[in-house]
Amino acid sequence: MAIPDQVVPAAQADNVLPAANLIKGVKKNLQVNIRKAALNDLDNVIDLASEYIIYSLSPYRDVLIEKIKEFRRKDFQNLKNILDFEKTALYIAENEKGEFLGHILIFITPFESAMGELQGYIFDLAVKQEYWGKGIGKLLIRQAEEFTKEKGLNYLTLGVSSSNQRAIKLYESLGFKEERKKFIKKVINGNFNPPG
């Protein structure tokens, strides 16, 4: 499939937010710009998403980390085919030098099929570790909220591994509520080991 041409080149990006004006606790002297992704951002996004899948691992599944990373990388390589900004939005956080700091990927999806309602869904959020705790994750989520609102949708949702306490705290601090719980039971080869 051809790469869609609706992807907005970085030069046309229209969403430059001075983080310090928006987010409590953003460190001074760190200017963060949030902008729509351009095609040449995808390598950075794919690398970070594949590397940081480790933060979303389930403590209840037997996984081979390298295999999971490889799976994630292949999954994200499909982004080139779906990045059309109608049903998908990819935003990049960068510093004043234009260095890549993180990304957020949102789909519009009927994920909550029981309710039959389209909604925004955060498929991936990641910030480079050396920039954690500076409010960049919050900025990216605020941007996802804006995108969802612009699409006329009432709700923004996401899934997070129960072990990812850092991300859970972040979502709760922004007003997200736990809506459902997912359960897992191992049915072949015995019981779970206790997590941790």
Give the binding site for ligand COA (CB under 6 A).
25, 52, 55-56, 125-127, 132-138, 160, 164, 166-167, 169-170, 173
Shorter beta-carbon distance to ligand COA: residue 25 or 110: 25
Nearer to ligand COA, 166 or 186 (CB): 166
CA 147 – CA 88 distance, rounded (Å): 10
- Of the candidates 132, 97, 98, the one whose C-alpha atom is nearest the C-alpha of residue 27 is 132
DSSP assignment of 63-128 equals --HHHHHHHHHHHHHTHHHH--SSSEEEEEEE-TT--EEEEEEEEEE---GGGT--EEEEEEEEE-
Minimum CB separation of residue 9 from ligand COA in Å reads 25
In angstroms, give the least distance from the CB of 125 to ligand COA. 5
- Give the residue with the Cβ less far from ligand COA, 15 or 164: 164
CB of 169 to ligand COA, least distance (A): 4
Paired tokens of 4: 């869609």
Collapsing DSSP states into helix, strand and coil, what is residue 145? helix
- What is the 8-class DSSP label of residue 12? G
Q: Which is nearer to ligand COA, 9 or 133 (CB)?
A: 133
- Min dist CB 113 to ligand COA, Å, is 21
Q: Which is nearer to ligand COA, 132 or 192 (CB)?
A: 132
Yes or no: say if 104 and 170 are a contact pair by the CB < 8 Å rule.
no
Q: Minimum CB separation from ligand COA for residue 106, in Å?
A: 13
